Each structure stands twice: as structure tokens, then as C-alpha cells.
A and B are shown apart, each in its own frame.
Chain A
Amino acid sequence: GAVVSQHPSWVICKSGTSVKIECRSLDFQATTMFWYRQFPKQSLMLMATSNEGSKATYEQGVEKDKFLINHASLTLSTLTVTSAHPEDSSFYICSAMERDRIGYTEAFFGQGTRLTVV
């Protein structure tokens, strides 16, 4: 199946700094990618939908100036957590939908990034 690579797998940063997380579709073109946040023992909450070449669509309650999303190419989307604080510590996962000639087929997920802000 298709592969989505997410980097880094874990990161520790100081409060007030910014962290960039990359999500790449390795063997297919992903016009749409999704970013999720998962708190311990909880489900994945959709943060935003990233569309190649246009602005991301954020879910209600997600600060777009806090979580900057860029989808500059068909294989790369980035999430930047700006001025990170301890409450931003979480597990972040990206996803991309593979599309065939008919439509969407399957969602593929990155390995996730565990962010710890100290």
C-alpha cells in the first residue's frame, strides 16, 4: 500500500520556540492531507484539512495562527506549532487519502510525532 512518512517521530522543545512537522506521501500524490492531534488514551481529533496550493481549512477551536499548515507540493504538507507551550504537548498524526480514477480509496497515516514542550 501507499506510504506516508512523518518526521520527526518525536521532538522535545523549549516553551516559546516553534516546531515544524513534515508529512510526505512517498509513492502517490496527495492533493489533500489531514492533520490530527491525539491526547493520551483519546481518539484522533481532526485539526485541519490541508489542500495543495491553497489555504488550509481549520476545524472549529483550532488556532490557525498557532498551528501553521503549508501544503506546497503534492507530496509534502508541514505543520508548524508556533510559540509552543506545555499544553501543546501531544501526539500529532498526518494522513493522506490516495485517489484512484474514481475517487478516494484509502487513508494512509504517518507514524505520528510526539511533541513534548518543556
Chain B
Amino acid sequence: AQSVTQLDSHVSVSEGTPVLLRCNYSSSYSPSLFWYVQHPNKGLQLLLKYTSAATLVKGINGFEAEFKKSETSFHLTKPSAHMSDAAEYFCVVSASWYSSASKIIFGSGTRLSIRP
């Protein structure tokens, strides 16, 4: 079974300051982990993904995430927030590689607000 917990429903930071969005997961199998972003009234866009290669994953728009197995975490970070980063962010878990039982499970989402 897989599950994912996003620890903050809302994060607010000032423009130019670091962003940290927290995610913890649970999986019976080696997980694949993803971060997706959803802007208002828009579809989902993949930011980055971890699929058992390098534990530090770099994504688009300056975002990165580190897979920490000992902490079962996959937190999303960005050194300097931009106004265009304001959106809803979803941490997603899937059982890795060849698993016919794999599901794609979404976290509850974190709304990121950017203060001018």
C-alpha cells in the first residue's frame, strides 16, 4: 500500500526567499515520487520525479527535492521564490518500477503563496 502526507496545507513566503514544501510517504514497494504543480484553473505539470536513481533530483523552474529513505521524506525546495511560483503543489507516490499493483496516490496538496 502507498500513502503520502503533505505536512502543510498552506505555505506563505516572501519573494526572493527560500521555499520548503514538506512531504512524507509510505510505500510497501520501492517508491517512485513526484512533485506536480497546478496553477488556478489549469492542469497538472510535472516539476520533478525520483525513480531510484540519484537521491537529489533537480526539476524545472529551479525546484529540487531530496529523497531520504531513512526519514521517508521527499521535500521540495527552491532557493528563491518568484511570484509565478504561487500555485498548488502535490506530492505523488507510486510503487516503483514494474508493479502491476501500482497506483498513483496524491497528497492533499500545499498551497504556496508568495508575498511581494
Q: Residues of A at under 8 Å CB distance from B? A: 1, 32, 34, 36, 42-46, 49, 93, 95, 97, 102-107, 109-112
Asked if B82 CB lies within 8 Å of chain A CBs, one says no
Query: Which of B44, B46, B51, B106 has the largest count of A CB atoms less than 10 A from its CB?
Result: B44
Instruction: Tell me if B109 and A104 are in contact (CB < 8 A).
Output: no
Task: Mark B78-106 against chain A: 1 for CB-CB distance below 8 A, else 0.
Answer: 00000000000010101011111011111
B43, CB-defined interface residue at 8 Å: yes
* Contact (A104, B43) CB under 8 Å given A36-B106, A43-B109: no
CB-based A-B contact count at 8 angstroms: 55
User: Top 3 A-B pairs ranked by shortest CB distance?
Assistant: A103-B97, A103-B98, A44-B106
B34 lies within 8 A of A107 (CB): yes
Cα distance, A44 to B109, chains bound together (Å): 9
Given contacts A46-B104, A97-B104, A110-B43, contact A105 B51 (CB under 8 A): yes
Within 8 A of A (CB), among B38-63: 43-44, 46, 49, 51
**A42, B38: Cα distance in complex, Å:** 11
* Further pairs besides A34-B104, A49-B103, A95-B104: 14, Cβ < 8 Å: A32-B100, A43-B90, A93-B43, A97-B102, A102-B98, A104-B32, A104-B94, A104-B97, A104-B98, A104-B102, A106-B34, A106-B46, A107-B94, A109-B43
Whether B43 and A112, one on each chain, are in contact in the complex, defined by CB atoms closer than 8 angstroms, is: yes
Give the chain A neighbours of B99 by CB distance below 8 A. 103-104
A49 surroundings in chain B (CB, below 8 A): 103
CB distance from A56 to the nearest CB of B (A): 12
CB-CB < 8 A to B51: which residues of A? 105
13 residue pairs from A and B, CB less than 8 Å apart: A32-B100, A34-B103, A43-B107, A43-B108, A46-B105, A46-B106, A49-B103, A93-B44, A102-B97, A103-B97, A104-B98, A104-B102, A105-B51
Question: Complex: how many Å from CA A46 to CA B108?
Answer: 12
